[in-house]
Amino acid sequence: MYGNGQAPIFILKDGTQRTRGRTAQSNNIAAAKAVADAVRSTLGPKGMDKMLVDSMGDVVITNDGATILKEMDIEHPAAKMIIEVAKTQEQHCFDGTTSAVILSGELLKRSEDLIEQNVHPTVICEGFRLAAERAIGLMESHGISTENDDAVLQEVAKTALTGKSAGAVKSFMADICVRAVNAVGVVEEGDRMVDLSDIKVEKRQGGSIKDSSLIDGILLDKERVHAGMPRSVSGAKIALVNSAIEVKKTEVDAKIQITDPNQLALFLEEEENYIRNLVNTIEKAGANVLVCQKGIDELAQHYLSKKGIFAIRRAKKSDMEALAKATGGTIITNLEDMSGDDLGEASRVEEKKIGDSDMTFITGCPEAKSVSVLLRGGTEHVVDEIRRAFDDAVGVVSVAWEDGAVLTGGGSVLAALSRDLRTYAETVGGREQMAIEAFASALEIIPRTLAENAGLDPVTTLIELRKAHADGQGHAGINVYEGGVVDMKEGNVVEPLRVVEQAIQSATETAIMILRIDDVISSKGVPMGDGMGDGMGDFQM
């Protein structure tokens, strides 16, 4: 900075980089587009997978947008903002992360064209805001009710699973997802709620995906503490204990002096009696299964096995809470206060060998509001990807169950909204009209990408799609398997309304935020870019 022809005055410290005006905007937009391009090929049933290798050499193979962006080592600040879109989408809707990121990139690409035509960024932002509000307002008219319709929920799960590793067994996995959500979903004062923490997921390699199962109770990654205990118990009465079944240690350092061998024998006998009394208390309450959150003394294990009580130690707190919900039991802190009313119930508790380790199945819980899912797969990488696919599928089923409405997929709703927005743009006028039209064109990036990833001609397919919507086929979407355009409602391709709504909202807000930046000051030496000629120059992958 110069003051009245004097020597320059340096306000920023040495080494600070500053990028302003059009250069700053084009660099930020280029970074955002590069992130969108990185995940674009994973979209849809014909999307490809990415192999990500971290600095430790660990390998992740996935086509889940949120996982890909989380694993990538991205440096550019604008690119990090696009990753926030994926994180938000994953947290709120469980699916649609790739769509949200691609939409953000396309909105910025279209806005760049407008900036070159000397449309001011604030005008573009206002147009985008108007378009997003209009699109979300129109969306409900395209909704299909899911209330008490398990068939529609299953189709939602199948759509989420299509294109993932679990796609080959999507009907099987969709059934597990819907049964799990129906088991834990509650309706309170007309509000429908699903707490996904009530669906406990365990994964084990070995076997095939078809060996996965839903357990109407709780699955514990634990085995009985003593080989002499029964392997299975029918008509289980379960004691949930939060204190250790062992001799209590003093809070302060204490020294006991023993001068006579008989005193030592009495001392040990007293310890034994204390342990025996604890076990007798458990038996008197009527328990034949014990789940302890803390340790169980070896002597206590012996007495428990003598009485035929099935015992597990060091159970996780989350498992204890899930068991209390599933079996109707109460978690007991003081064993002396335990009674038969505190016990949970299950028709069967059984230890089974799954893969290389033993697991405990607690099934047949009469009032179960907590269930478990055991996922199987041939290798560790397969099981991990099945877990990610299951989390997405059960998440979107829960969202559809709560909202009671879904939209047709295959780019059909976005094509319909794009058409509606073009009509709306004509009524707005001014330069905002150009931004709304750009927004309408940006929405078509999803059907275009679906066509590209399926090996179809994107231009021809998009023209066919527009014509179908002009002819009144409101649910027309892209057939990625055979080409052309088909009715997505008849094809049972559906996704939750919330997924599309959140994708449009978060993509618009992020695009607006990046467009409003005209000055980037970096004191950390973060590369601000040189226009990113290769499309990937400003962030590391």
Contact (Cβ atoms closer than 8 angstroms) between residue 237 and residue 343? yes
Residue 532 pLDDT = 40
Residue 151 pLDDT = 85
Same structural domain, 267 and 137: no
CA distance 43 to 451: 10
- Of all helices (H) and strands (E), which one includes residue 461? helix 458-470
Report the CATH number that the domain containing residue 343 is assigned in CATH: 3.50.7.10
420 is catalytic: no
Same structural domain, 349 and 442: no
Residue 460 pLDDT = 93
98 is catalytic: yes
pLDDT above 50 (res 531) = no
For residues 185 and 349, which has the higher predicted lDDT (pLDDT)?
349
Half-sphere exposure for 449 (CA within 13 Å, toward CB):
27
391 is catalytic: no
pLDDT band at 534 (very low <50, low <70, confident <90, very high): very low
Contact (Cβ atoms closer than 8 angstroms) between residue 176 and residue 416? no
Across the range 38-45, mean pLDDT stands at 88
Average pLDDT, the chain: 84
Residue 146 pLDDT = 72
pLDDT above 60 (res 62) = yes
Tokens representing residue 99 in the block: 């769509």
For residues 48 and 246, which has the higher predicted lDDT (pLDDT)?
48
Amino acid identity of residue 473, one-letter, is: Q
Same structural domain, 130 and 233: no
Across the range 238-252, mean pLDDT stands at 78
Residue 420 pLDDT = 93
Residue 7 pLDDT = 63
Contact (Cβ atoms closer than 8 angstroms) between residue 88 and residue 502? yes
64 is catalytic: yes
Q: How far is CA 280 from CA 203, 303, 304, 307, in A?
A: 37, 9, 9, 9
Same structural domain, 40 and 119: yes
Which among 520, 453, 446, 392 has a CA at the least distance from the CA of 81?
520
Same structural domain, 223 and 344: yes
Label the pairing between strands 17-20 and 519-522: antiparallel
How does pLDDT run across 415-443, given as a tens digit for each residue? 999 999 999 998 987 888 999 999 999 99
Which of these is catalytic: 297, 392, 420, 538? Answer: 392
Which of these is catalytic: 97, 360, 461, 510? Answer: 97
Across the range 33-37, mean pLDDT stands at 89
Contact (Cβ atoms closer than 8 angstroms) between residue 469 and residue 416? yes
How does pLDDT run across 453-495, given as a tens digit for each residue? 999 999 999 999 999 999 988 889 998 888 889 998 888 888 8
Domain contains 357: yes
Same structural domain, 289 and 339: yes
Residue 277 pLDDT = 85
Domain contains 207: no
Domains contained in the chain, number: 2
Same structural domain, 360 and 230: yes
Domain contains 518: yes
Amino acid identity of residue 38, one-letter, is: A
Residue 126 pLDDT = 93
Boundary-marking domain end, from 336, 367, 398: 367
Which among 351, 339, 344 has a CA at the least distance from the CA of 235?
344
pLDDT band at 541 (very low <50, low <70, confident <90, very high): very low
Which of these is catalytic: 19, 42, 62, 64? Answer: 64
Which among 142, 160, 147 has a CA at the least distance from the CA of 94?
160
Same structural domain, 362 and 237: yes
Q: Which domain does 114 fall in, by range? A: 17-144+408-522
Across the range 505-516, mean pLDDT stands at 91
Which of these is catalytic: 42, 62, 67, 98? Answer: 98
Residue 423 pLDDT = 92
Domain contains 287: yes
For residues 144 and 513, which has the higher predicted lDDT (pLDDT)?
513
Per cent of the chain over pLDDT 90 is: 20
Domain contains 470: yes
Across the range 66-87, mean pLDDT stands at 85
Report the CATH number that the domain containing residue 117 is assigned in CATH: 1.10.560.10
Domain contains 460: yes
Residue 100 pLDDT = 92
Domain contains 261: yes
Q: How far is CA 195 from CA 233, 388, 398, 416, 437, in A?
A: 30, 18, 9, 33, 40
Domain contains 195: no
Which among 458, 385, 510 has a CA at the least distance from the CA of 100?
510
CA distance 137 to 131: 10
Same structural domain, 321 and 414: no
Same structural domain, 229 and 363: yes
Contact (Cβ atoms closer than 8 angstroms) between residue 238 and residue 257? no
Residue 95 pLDDT = 82
Same structural domain, 124 and 230: no
Region of 154 (left: φ > 0; alpha: ψ -120 to 50; beta: rest) is alpha
8 - beta bridge partners? 2
Across the range 249-255, mean pLDDT stands at 66
Same structural domain, 341 and 428: no
- 240 Cβ contact list (under 8 Å, min separation 6): 291, 320, 323, 324, 327, 329, 330, 331, 332, 342, 344
- 235 Cβ contact list (under 8 Å, min separation 6): 288, 347
How does pLDDT run across 276-291, given as a tens digit for each residue? 888 888 888 888 999 9
pLDDT band at 5 (very low <50, low <70, confident <90, very high): low
Residue 251 pLDDT = 61
> Cα–Cα–Cα angle for 190, 158, 409, nearest 5°?
80
How does pLDDT run across 305-364, given as a tens digit for each residue? 988 999 999 998 888 888 888 888 889 888 888 888 889 888 889 998 887 788 898 888
Region of 312 (left: φ > 0; alpha: ψ -120 to 50; beta: rest) is beta
